[in-house]
Chain A
């Protein structure tokens, strides 16, 4: 009791003592573990590694910890140290599970512990053992299959397992459903196997990953298996996935057969109710379709009209699914006899839709899909006949269908969005035809409809014209004219207030985009110079765009695309407060941060460091919710979810959970949050906060998912552990931004931005720059007074030299390597990263060539050359920042000031890193003097005047700021 209490109250030394006594008297291993756990958690720094050492010794000495609670305690004892779970605790878990094979409970605990730590290999060994010892338990069988699958697919798997496991897991999972010849060892008679949809979905996943197309087709064609069988069981997800598998394997004939079979069943069922001439016609064709079937019909063989209601429902509901229709269309496009197939499909779908309508199952959303399908059929027919190069004249009625569709949907708010996809497929002449036809069609009497027509025409123009000034001007005029007509008409205003995507807000968005383009904002050549997206831009035009949008926002604050665009425009012009006001209308939090965060967070620190300060009035910085979100998601939610999928037999879901965590750990916005926060804080305070800990993880790179026991903060993970070779990716959802422009013009997210979108290169450059700053800003604690100072300094120098060497190599590669052509940095960022690269080289050279022995002439010259190069780059950056924008009229100088904020922010970054480097060099020379006064003085005599030039350059830049 006492011990329990002390342990839970975290009175570690008391607990350790009590446990020691208890262990002495009982000889129970458990108390030993309690003692070790308590001691490694205690305040005594020398005891912190005690758990680690104990675990390592047990691993090395082949010890088996037979008490599962004790093992939990050891796991707790090493939590927070950087041990590889799979090589330590994971190994002990396997030993325990195998030592007590008949204890299912212990096995499950060990399995879950390994899964929690993404240690698939050890989990698999435990799962195998459990499966072997409880052979009748289907859940354990599937845990075995699942973990084998995870090992087979994991990037980290090598050697024998990589080669053998794919075949092993295929055999296992096929047998689980009796799809292979029996081995004679089966416990469940084949006809008694009851499989769940989850199990089947896992089978499909494994087949998709490792099965050959022929093998998969053969299995999916077995009786009591395959798509139709799944559908009749009510496993709609498995049905759709199995079709996807067939399509993935390019089994077009089979895909087409399945869709046909579904339609036939519906037609069959419909005949039970009403029998029309067409359905009779279709019955003849059914025979025709199954005659050259690649996939035997594995549906239930009942007489027409008498299959059960439940099964009939499944077929009816499935027959209206867009994804089913689309798999048919894709298959048809790939079939040799596409034209025939398309005809058959078209004929059948017409009948099916009539039956669905008769049965009250054609909700508007399906009707909408069907209208689009009709269009798709027309477009597909055109494609196929163009391919066959004997296009039948008059057959191609694309334009006519488009006009028809636009009229059917003219009142729908998403009418334009719907048409857009098809317009993209038309060539210039066809678009002109369409626009012409639209103009001459008698417009409906309502004004709203007229507005939609105008909107359509205007946006068509925008899509179709190059970004030339006269075109943009005329489009802007049209949009503005229609907009004002609408605004002044009370009737129209009232009407649009009730729809979400109203034509007026769309006209405003369209017009503003044209204005932004006309203003010449965001032009790449301009950006490169001083980082202001409005450099060289016509600020008047730009401001008109902003005013237009803001005017409408105040009137009807509903259009999300409009609001997001406005946020971006305000950020471009440096009006951060107003930008954030509009942004805050969205209440972006939790999971939404991940989708949209980049829109607002990227480069914010350079523009407005204030938003990253913490103080009495700001309890958290703008970046903190992001950091918290990723930290909890990756380190807690992810492993918790892994366990929950396992416990709930959601086998097929687990790979997607892993994928999500992997994507989160490579998400650029997680890195941006860390970088922006650090930049913001130091831009404001002028100091760098270092995070280097006693045990830096540099060199021990691993993806951010918790394979290691250590659970550091996101900031430490990103800065300490993320390998420069780990590919980062921008997962931002840019879809909510307006998408009106044509395929050739710059997308809005790039046009309305303070610089290029986040890339792997930019994020890694930023991380490396932070690492360099940490390295040179690191100061030993004041009370650090080692006895063997010379030896210690030398090993310290060696370590710094090799870290710098590594940093420099990566920086150099990213700055000047193959990706450097990408144009994904702003001008000031380019200069900043180049300065950092030179400085890393400088520090590296100093550590390599003047600290160990007296410097040679060549070494000195090398160092001076690097300093000179740095000075040149700083000079360039400074000049760029001073350059006034030719686009800004003299009386708008203030605006120029705010739009240049990013450039000034990055200049401040440069001066800060220069100053820290100089300080570091000076301090290092001082330490050299401590151990070798003469040499220290000599080296300082030539080097310090050179570094003073660097300080002077930094001071000059600071003065500008």
Chain B
């Protein structure tokens, strides 16, 4: 079985099932703890009856810093998905979807304009997943990732910056239909 609840630090000792997967990055402990301390309600997990973490989502709310204010790339108050992963054995059951919905509820509660995330251009599964959840590409960040999963000789890999509007954005002013044609450089994104 699977149940859903907020993350607690003890879960870090039980997330091997997710993080042994090569597509899931394992960070320094401070990274997870920082999200936990700042945005506890945006850090949600799915657990099985043995206490194993089967999936988690970790996110934050923010806007670009003030010195970015005049830039065309300035981001207003929004929520960001920093990590989302579901253990390989538990995929295609809707766990990713529920976790994302929970984060979205937090984003609505915080009155943000949209939810966004970065995903490797080659990660088709994840892109399909986000599209099924109503996200669309807003812009392409060139060589955002230092390495390239599908082509080790390449310098890096592009990221899609994907977005979904919240209820606040009634006119969809923060969404683009032709996002795949908008390319930006890594230094343009905050």
Find the residue from A417, A590, A636, A650 having the highest chain B CB count within 10 A. A590
- Chain B residues, CB < 8 A from A323: 3-5
A322 at the interface (CB under 8 A from B): yes
B71 at the interface (CB under 8 A from A): no
- Chain B residues, CB < 8 A from A589: 26
A237 at the interface (CB under 8 A from B): yes
Contact with A along B16-41 (1 / 0, CB 8 A): 11011010001111101110111111
Stretch from A185-193, A652-660, A875-883 contacting the other chain = A652-660
Find the residue from A365, A591, A644, A657 having the highest chain B CB count within 10 A. A365
CA distance A364 to B90 in the complex (A): 11
Asked if residues A368 and B1 are in contact (CB atoms below 8 Å), the reply is yes
Asked if residues A657 and B98 are in contact (CB atoms below 8 Å), the reply is no
Asked if residues B98 and A365 are in contact (CB atoms below 8 Å), the reply is yes
Asked if residues B2 and A322 are in contact (CB atoms below 8 Å), the reply is yes
Known A364-B92, A650-B38, A735-B50: A595·B13 in contact at CB below 8 Å: yes
Contact with B along A711-727 (1 / 0, CB 8 A): 00000000000000000
A198 at the interface (CB under 8 A from B): yes
Nearest residue, chain B, Cβ from A364: B93
- Chain B residues, CB < 8 A from A500: 88-89
A594 contacts which of B1, B12, B52, B109 (Cβ < 8 Å)? B12
Asked if residues A656 and B89 are in contact (CB atoms below 8 Å), the reply is no
CA distance A306 to B54 in the complex (A): 37
Chain A interface residue count, CB cutoff 8 Å, equals: 58
How far, in Å, is A229 (CB) from chain B's closest CB?
17
How far, in Å, is A628 (CB) from chain B's closest CB?
10
B6 at the interface (CB under 8 A from A): yes
How far, in Å, is B49 (CB) from chain A's closest CB?
7
Asked if residues B8 and A656 are in contact (CB atoms below 8 Å), the reply is yes
CA distance A365 to B2 in the complex (A): 7
CA distance A677 to B12 in the complex (A): 25
- Chain B residues, CB < 8 A from A652: 40
CA distance A632 to B30 in the complex (A): 9
Asked if residues A637 and B41 are in contact (CB atoms below 8 Å), the reply is no
Asked if residues A365 and B95 are in contact (CB atoms below 8 Å), the reply is yes
Chain B interface main SS type:
helix
Within 8 A of B (CB), among A721-759: 731, 733, 735-736
Known A365-B94, A592-B19, A595-B14: A234·B2 in contact at CB below 8 Å: no
How far, in Å, is A98 (CB) from chain B's closest CB?
28
A586 at the interface (CB under 8 A from B): yes
- Chain B residues, CB < 8 A from A414: 89-90
CA distance A363 to B91 in the complex (A): 12
Asked if residues A733 and B40 are in contact (CB atoms below 8 Å), the reply is no
B105 at the interface (CB under 8 A from A): yes
A735 contacts which of B9, B52, B93 (Cβ < 8 Å)? B52
B20 contacts which of A501, A560, A653, A731 (Cβ < 8 Å)? A560
A421 at the interface (CB under 8 A from B): yes
Known A650-B40, A657-B37: A736·B16 in contact at CB below 8 Å: yes
CA distance A650 to B39 in the complex (A): 8
CA distance A363 to B94 in the complex (A): 6
Within 8 A of B (CB), among A405-460: 413-414, 417-418, 421
- Chain A residues, CB < 8 A from B135: none
Asked if residues A629 and B29 are in contact (CB atoms below 8 Å), the reply is yes
A648 contacts which of B19, B20, B38, B89 (Cβ < 8 Å)? B38
Asked if residues B9 and A657 are in contact (CB atoms below 8 Å), the reply is yes
Asked if residues B16 and A321 are in contact (CB atoms below 8 Å), the reply is no
- Chain B residues, CB < 8 A from A363: 93-94, 97-98
Contact with B along A615-648 (1 / 0, CB 8 A): 0000000000000010011001110110011001
B56 at the interface (CB under 8 A from A): no
B27 contacts which of A198, A364, A591, A650 (Cβ < 8 Å)? A591
Contact with B along A551-574 (1 / 0, CB 8 A): 000000010100000000000000
- Chain A residues, CB < 8 A from B32: 591
B15 at the interface (CB under 8 A from A): yes
Nearest residue, chain A, Cβ from B90: A414
- Chain A residues, CB < 8 A from B97: 363
Nearest residue, chain A, Cβ from B88: A500
- Chain A residues, CB < 8 A from B3: 321-323, 326, 369
B29 contacts which of A197, A591, A733 (Cβ < 8 Å)? A591
Asked if residues A733 and B16 are in contact (CB atoms below 8 Å), the reply is yes
How far, in Å, is A248 (CB) from chain B's closest CB?
16
How far, in Å, is B18 (CB) from chain A's closest CB?
10
Asked if residues A237 and B41 are in contact (CB atoms below 8 Å), the reply is yes
- Chain B residues, CB < 8 A from A237: 5-6, 41
Known A322-B1, A590-B28, A733-B14: A644·B38 in contact at CB below 8 Å: yes
- Chain A residues, CB < 8 A from B30: 632-633, 636-637, 640-641
Nearest residue, chain B, Cβ from A653: B40
A587 contacts which of B22, B34, B94 (Cβ < 8 Å)? B22
B10 contacts which of A640, A641, A660 (Cβ < 8 Å)? A660
- Chain A residues, CB < 8 A from B93: 363-365, 368
CA distance A16 to B22 in the complex (A): 53
Asked if residues B13 and A369 are in contact (CB atoms below 8 Å), the reply is no
A372 at the interface (CB under 8 A from B): yes
CA distance A840 to B40 in the complex (A): 51
A76 at the interface (CB under 8 A from B): no
- Chain A residues, CB < 8 A from B49: 421
- Chain B residues, CB < 8 A from A240: 5
CA distance A640 to B38 in the complex (A): 12
Nearest residue, chain B, Cβ from A739: B50
A596 at the interface (CB under 8 A from B): yes
CA distance A496 to B105 in the complex (A): 38
- Chain B residues, CB < 8 A from A735: 14, 16-17, 50-52
Asked if residues B13 and A731 are in contact (CB atoms below 8 Å), the reply is yes
Nearest residue, chain B, Cβ from A648: B38
- Chain B residues, CB < 8 A from A648: 37-39
- Chain A residues, CB < 8 A from B6: 237
A736 contacts which of B20, B33, B37, B94 (Cβ < 8 Å)? B20
A366 at the interface (CB under 8 A from B): yes
Contact with B along A579-612 (1 / 0, CB 8 A): 0000000111111101110000000000000000
Nearest residue, chain B, Cβ from A372: B1
- Chain B residues, CB < 8 A from A731: 13
Asked if residues A657 and B4 are in contact (CB atoms below 8 Å), the reply is no
Contact with B along A222-253 (1 / 0, CB 8 A): 00000000000010010010000000000000
A413 contacts which of B10, B89, B98, B105 (Cβ < 8 Å)? B89
Contact with B along A357-379 (1 / 0, CB 8 A): 00000011110110010000000
A selection of 7 A-B contacts at a CB cut-off of 8 Å is: A237-B5, A591-B12, A591-B28, A595-B12, A637-B29, A650-B37, A656-B9
For the complex with contacts A644-B34, A657-B33, 16 further pairs of A-B residues with Cβ separation under 8 Å are A365-B90, A365-B93, A365-B95, A368-B93, A369-B3, A414-B89, A417-B89, A591-B29, A595-B12, A640-B34, A644-B37, A650-B36, A731-B13, A733-B52, A735-B50, A736-B16
Report B's interface with A, CB cutoff 8 A: 1-6, 8-10, 12-17, 19-20, 22, 26-30, 32-34, 36-41, 46, 49-52, 88-90, 92-95, 97-98, 105, 109
Q: Ordered nearest first, which 3 A-B pairs have the shortest CB separation?
A: A363-B94, A644-B37, A637-B30
